[in-house]
Structure 1
Amino acid sequence: MEEKSRENPQGPQHELASTVSDDDHSISQASDRTPTVQGKDAEDRVVVSDSQPEDDLPVVVPRLKRRGLLAQLTLLEEVENPKTYPRNKKWFITFIVAVAGSVAPFGSAIFLPALTQVSGDLGATSTITNLTISLYMLAMAVFPIFWSSFSERLGRRTVYLASFCLFVIFNVLCAVSTSIGMLIILRLLSGGASSSVQAVGAGTIADIWDTRERGHAMSIFYLGPLAGPLIAPIIGGALAQRWHWRATMWFFSAYGGCILVLIIFGLPETLLSTKPLLPEQREQEEPIGRRLSRVSSRQVIGAAARWLKLLKVVFIDPLKIILYLRYVPVLLTVYYAAITFGLLYVLNISIEHSFVKDPYNFDTLIVGLLYIPNSLGYFISSIFGGKWIDNIMIREAKKANRYDENGKLIYRPEDRMRENAVVGALLYPAGLIWYGWTVEKGVFWIAPMIANFFFGVGSMLIFAVVTTMLTEMLPRRSSEGVALNNFVRNIFSCVGSFVTVPVINGIGNGWLFTIAGFAAFASSLVIVAMRHFGGGWRDKMDSLMQ
């Protein structure tokens, strides 16, 4: 449906349903006190409540009817509409998901200071040892696609529990690895298991928070994934220096086990409705004689068909999210996040590779501490950037005089790419170039660390904008949009972490990060394009997706 009323205060108001069925997404009337976000059609408009109406109280699901694996053990009750949770419970759920989200990046960062020890202990070159990082990141790219699809059919909670059980098992096996090949394979599986939160976590945030507050909530959620890179290298460096690299994997296993317990008892199901793995098959009644004579062949053919369809649903259908890249606004936002994330891992590998050599010669613990500045930048940007983005959304809607028929503001996803994105686009490429040449020339260590801080601030502004925009451009497919983002950006990080050492050995840190910085500057044209053409592109995308 064409949205001709976007700029017109008298245009129709469409509101998102509080309940969504499998194939028929019904629309329920929301409160008159709710501004909207423009989406695909009447079904896709996201509703934002200024405040929770007094009569819109949470309806508790009886304990025996709760959904998800081991759901009866959850101390926090499940409700019929997760957006009606009180704010304190919404923040509690956000906290759990944020802590769970810290695991995947924690797993890559905790291993960085110990890479040299792994090479010596298992008799591998540094390039081969770096595969324990790059393939871990590749798994984080691919597996969220499937976790996201499973979460829409099995529920968020079941996916969290299943993935974290596997995660603990794989990390215990990593700790007892006897060869570099065994370690690489198990690290890949560990990364895949831990990556469920990378896609499903953002979906959980979208389940419980309205759009007007979602930018702030998403930034707080990202504090978890960013806390991993902040503390993991310190812990990894200390453990590796005191007990060798295997201690990092034992610690990681215990950490995952603690989060698993937290999920079991603290995280209810938040998805409004789930889809069955396979639709029910209705068989026509036949005469008893004919049924008996054909029962064997029919059973075999029917069972084979159902198994083939199940395999398609599990392994083929999730890959369809890649087709979202044919839409220009999705392609551009995902690309910009991917180039930024890939350069983050180029920087991470460079720190470990460069500061153990002349002229720095730092030990494993000190190398771990060098990851603090950019992580501090992430924290500061995450804490203040989310509110900033939400305020920009409100300001732009008022400035454009976009109101619905009830006088409530109409928000657009592309409103999030304003001066906040420009600041990020300038800061993080400049930080890369600054870091590269100060390390290349052997400048006192504090100079490249200041550069890393500004890289952290700038890159986090980009990550927060892109993730929130994707959940709003694909409102009914928020987990799929974030999974697609993770898929592309972790492929970039996989390639970046694998090629960094050979490139540094070839041209040095200075030229590597100069090239990276200018590539990042050039990529910032995405911001200009989205600001000028984003609305039209999104309208075209919405019409094609109907």
Structure 2
Amino acid sequence: MATTSRDFGNEPPPQQQDSGEAGRQHHVDEHPEAGATIHDSSASALPGDETKAETAGTGQDSQEEAERDPNIVDWDGPDDPANPQNWTPRKKWANIAVLALITFMVPLASSMFAPGIPQVLSDFDTNNPSLATFVVSVYILGLAAGPLVLAPLSELYGRVIIYHVGNVLFIIFTVACALATNINMLTAFRFLCGLVGAGPIAIGGGTIADLTTLQQRGTAMSVWSLGPLLGPSIGPVAGGFLAQAEGWRWIFWVLAITAGVITIASLVVLRETHPGTLLERKTRRLRKETGNTNLRSKLDLQIPPRTLFLRSIVRPSKLLLLSPICLVLSIYSAFVYAMIYLMISTFTFVFQDNYGFSEGIVGLVFIALGLGMLFGVAVQQAIGNRIMKHLADSRNQGKPKPEYRIPPTLLAGILIPVGLFIYGWTVQYQIQWAVPLLGALLAGMGICIINISTNLYLVDAFTVYAASALAASTVLRSIFGATFPLFALQMYDTLGLGWGNSLLAFISVAMLAIPPLLFYCGEKLRSHPKFQVKL
């Protein structure tokens, strides 16, 4: 992740700097992707401090000398319009809206195909439901692998090129799915669709951080998070009727057409936001104009691209394995996210077998999960920022901490097991179909709130390495989402729908201990020397 030594620590306070230096400090304080920390008590010791120390190397004197280096290219003061955080609200939200559409499209494709599974079994002469379920979940394995490569590439070449290339390849592989002649071919192209489509999920949070300040981030992150959460639950609604009317292949044709429209919108609207890429472009332009070959970007680590790429690939894994905060939050987020795909992959079988729903009607049951997601976003927006501001004012002299993002998850953590209990036992005894869907709605609310809150926590807590922390969480979440549906039908066959969902509910009850633990001990864990990860 591109940065320089003077981005961290020991700089004179803003009031002692001239306007140019103040502008640079303003950018660094608020921009996690630019190699900065949020200067409050919660950021006193963040993962990667050892790397910062190595980069700083020579101390205060060399930092001040670097500040005066005329060959360093930075933003032109705090109001530089080239800085994405200074873009007009219209331009910011246009980029966020298109990014949200792309991020919605990718998870939509993961589940829209689900209602067509019985037709696939028939067309390809197989009666193995686990294999058909794998065709759905293999897409999520692609989403798990993609971030490990795409996130580092975005730091080398910028974010927009990742979005555009990914969109085009996604269309190509989706068309290949529509033309598949056997289930092995379909499975392979589904994996490739997930792999190339992972870009907005892998680096979308980084783009949000590029564009927004800490105070703006909650709303923007909620809008962007709707895609991964709402897409999987809306897809089967359209997919069910489409499969019934035109067959499962037309699901992929419609996805390809929709992706084509969104790709055109992204080509027109999306602009580069990665500060390292933007400053590097500015540096190259100034070198050409001035003939000064010594100019270099403030965010240039002067590390060979291959070394930077390899470091960036390893970083998410190191955070996941060595940072207890990242690990615990990722496991919690991954478990609740897996509930979406477990329900999505089994709704068709459960409601057709227990309630006799047709292929078209069974798609409508996914609306309950989608409504739960929407209600979850509304609740998160209504209480999330207010709670954070209240806690900051009452406990920390108005300075926000990542832990202040946690309280909404306390409510959400209760909704999930309640929803699973209602869904499981009412389907078990075939109580009127609206009641189990109420359970799915409650679970969807809880899932949405927890995912948005954990994403915000990771961005606020890991600042400099927010993209890597989100990539680590996304990888684990996708692995859980891909593997849980594989054993769902067998679990239901063995335990029944009531006890099968109760088992998942009991696990989610045990996880209720995680939010209070992070709220009261999260800052200590982040600042403890034992858990400082050298990145």
Do they superpose with TM above 0.5?
yes
2:524 counterpart residue number:
536
- CA deviation after TM superposition for structure 1 residue 478, in Å: 2.1
1:99 touches 1:225 (CA, 8 Å); kept in 2? no
In the aligned structure 1, how far is the partner of 2:190 from the partner of 2:332? 27
Is this contact kept in 1: 2:48–2:533, CA < 8 A? no
In the aligned structure 1, how far is the partner of 2:186 from the partner of 2:307?
Answer: 31
Does 1:122 find its partner at 2:124? Answer: yes
Residue 360 of structure 1 pairs with residue 355 of structure 2: yes
Q: What corresponds to 1:508 in structure 2?
A: 496
Secondary structure (helix, strand or coil) at the match of 2:355 reads: coil
| CA shift digits 1:395-420 (9 cap, x unpaired) | 111111x23xxxxx3111011111x1
Partner AA of 1:531 in structure 2: F
Alpha-carbon distance, 1:57 to partner: 3.9
TM-aligned CA deviation for residue 214 of structure 1: 0.8
How far residue 245 of structure 1 moved from its aligned partner, in angstroms, is: 0.1
Shift of 1:535: 1.0
Q: Which residue of 1 aligns with 2:414?
A: 426
Does the CA contact (< 8 Å) of 2:232 and 2:340 recur in 1? no
Residue matched to 2:316: 321
Distance in 1 of aligned mates of 2:47 and 2:317: 23
Distance in 1 separating the partners of 2:504 and 2:222? 26
Q: 2:160: which partner in 1?
A: 157
Alignment match of 1:229 (pick from 201, 212, 232): 232
Q: Is residue 102 of structure 2 the alignment partner of residue 100 of structure 1?
A: yes
Give the Å deviation of 1:513: 0.5
State the AA in 1 paired with 2:342: V
Deviation at 1:229, TM superposition (A): 3.0
Deviations 1:7-33 (A, max 9, x none): xxxxxx99965269xxx97879xxxxx
Deviation at 1:423, TM superposition (A): 0.6
Q: Is the 8 A contact 1:219 1:383 kept in 2?
A: no
Matched, 1:18 2:7: no
Q: Determine the C-alpha separation between the residues in 2 that align with 1:330 and 1:340.
A: 16
Maintained 8 Å contact 1:144/1:487? yes
Matched with 1:330 is 326
Structure 2 unaligned runs (5+)?
A: 1-7, 9-21, 50-76, 281-303
2:207 alignment counterpart? 204
**What's the secondary structure of 1:470's corresponding residue?**
helix
The SS at the match of 1:123 is coil
Looking at structure 1, the residues matched to 43 and 153 of structure 2 have their Cα atoms a distance apart, in angstroms, of 24
- Confirm or deny that 1:247 pairs with 2:261: no
User: How is 1:276-295 mapped onto 2 (pairs within 5 angstroms)?
Assistant: none
Cα distance change of structure 1 residues 452 and 492 upon mapping to structure 2, 3 Å threshold: same
- Of residues 376, 384, 389 in structure 2, which corresponds to 1:389? 384
Distance 1:26 1:493 in 2: 31
- Does structure 1 conserve the Cα–Cα contact (< 8 Å) formed by 2:368 and 2:438? yes
2:145 matches 1:142: yes
1:374 aligned onto 2:369: yes
Alpha-carbon spacing, 1:26–1:189, altered in 2? closer, same or farther (3 Å): closer
Question: Within 2, Cα distance between the matches of 1:109 and 1:160?
Answer: 21
Shift of 1:386: 2.9
Native 8 Å contact 1:19 1:273 kept in 2: no
User: CA distance change for structure 1 residues 340 and 504 in 2, over 3 Å: closer, same or farther?
Assistant: same
- 1:470 equivalenced with 2:473 (yes/no): no
Q: After TM superposition, give the deviation of residue 376 of structure 1 in Å.
A: 0.7
8 Å Cα contact 1:355/1:362 also seen in 2: yes
Q: Give 2:104's aligned amino acid.
A: S
Q: Aligned partners of 1:497 and 1:42: how far apart in 2?
A: 36
Instruction: Provide the C-alpha distance between the structure 1 equivalents of 2:510 and 2:310, rounded to a whole number of angstroms.
Output: 36
Task: Tell me the amino acid that sits aligned with residue 252 of structure 1.
Answer: L
Matched, 1:448 2:432: no
| Worse overlay, 182-191 or 524-533 | 524-533
Q: Corresponding residue for 1:38? A: 42
What pairs with 1:270-281 in structure 2 (closer than 5 Å)?
270-274=273-277
Rounded to whole Å, the distance in 1 between the matches of 2:507 and 2:261 is 41
Residue type matched to 1:218 in 2? M
Partner of 2:84: 82
> In 2 relative to 1, CA 25–182 (structure 1 residues): closer, same or farther, beyond 3 Å?
closer
CA distance in 2, matches of 1:16, 1:439: 58
CA RMSD of aligned residues (A): 2.9
Between Structure 1 and Structure 2, the one with more helix by share is 2
* Deviation (angstroms), 1:469: 0.8
Matched, 1:267 2:262: no
- AA matched with 2:27: S
Indicate the residue corresponding to 1:487 in structure 2.
475
* Cα distance change on mapping 1:458 and 1:312 into 2, 3 Å: same
CA–CA distance in structure 2, aligned partners of residues 368 and 311 of structure 1: 47
- Judged with a 3 Å threshold, the aligned counterparts in structure 2 of structure 1 residues 415 and 179 are, in CA distance, closer, same or farther, namely same
Provide closer, same or farther for how the CA distance between residues 238 and 253 of structure 1 changes in structure 2, counting only shifts above 3 A: same
Offset, 1:467? 0.6
Distance in 2 separating the partners of 1:19 and 1:35: 10
Deviations 1:245-274 (A, max 9, x none): 000000111111111111111000001013
What is residue 194 of structure 2 aligned with on the other side? 191
Instruction: State whether residues 46 and 526 of structure 2, in contact with CA within 8 Å, keep that contact through their aligned partners in structure 1.
Output: no
SS of match in other structure, 1:429: helix
Residue number in structure 1 paired with 2:342: 346
Partner AA of 1:38 in structure 2: S
Is the CA contact 1:16–1:27 (under 8 Å) kept in the aligned structure 2?
Answer: no
Report deviation, 1:459. Answer: 1.1
1:316 deviation in Å? 7.6
Paired residues of 1:236 and 1:368 also in contact (CA < 8 A): yes
Please list every run of 5 or more consecutive structure 1 residues that lacks an aligned counterpart in the other structure.
4-12, 29-33, 46-54, 60-79, 277-308, 404-408
Structure 2 Cα separation of the partners of residues 502 and 255 of structure 1: 35
CA–CA distance in structure 2, aligned partners of residues 421 and 322 of structure 1: 25
Cα 1:441–1:163, aligned 2, differ >3 Å: closer, same or farther? same
Decide whether the 8 Å contact of 1:168 with 1:256 is kept in 2. yes
Aligned-residue offset at 1:506: 1.8
Q: 1:458 aligns with which of 439, 446, 455?
A: 446
Q: Secondary structure at the match of 1:356?
A: helix
Distance 1:27 1:112 in 2: 43
User: What's the counterpart of residue 435 of structure 1?
Assistant: 423
Structure 1 318/387 Cα, relative in aligned 2: closer, same or farther at 3 Å?
A: farther
8 Å Cα contact 1:44/1:475 also seen in 2: no
Kept in 1: contact 2:180–2:186 (CA 8 A): yes
The Cα of 1:240 is off from its aligned counterpart by 0.5
How far apart, CA to CA, are the structure 1 residues paired with 2:386 and 2:39? 14
Q: Which amino acid aligns with 2:95?
A: I
CA–CA separation in structure 2 for the residues paired with 1:342 and 1:230: 12
* CA distance in 2 between partners of 1:220 and 1:37 (Å): 28
Residues 467 and 482, structure 1, Cα contact 8 Å, conserved in 2: yes
> 2:113 touches 2:239 (CA, 8 Å); kept in 1?
yes
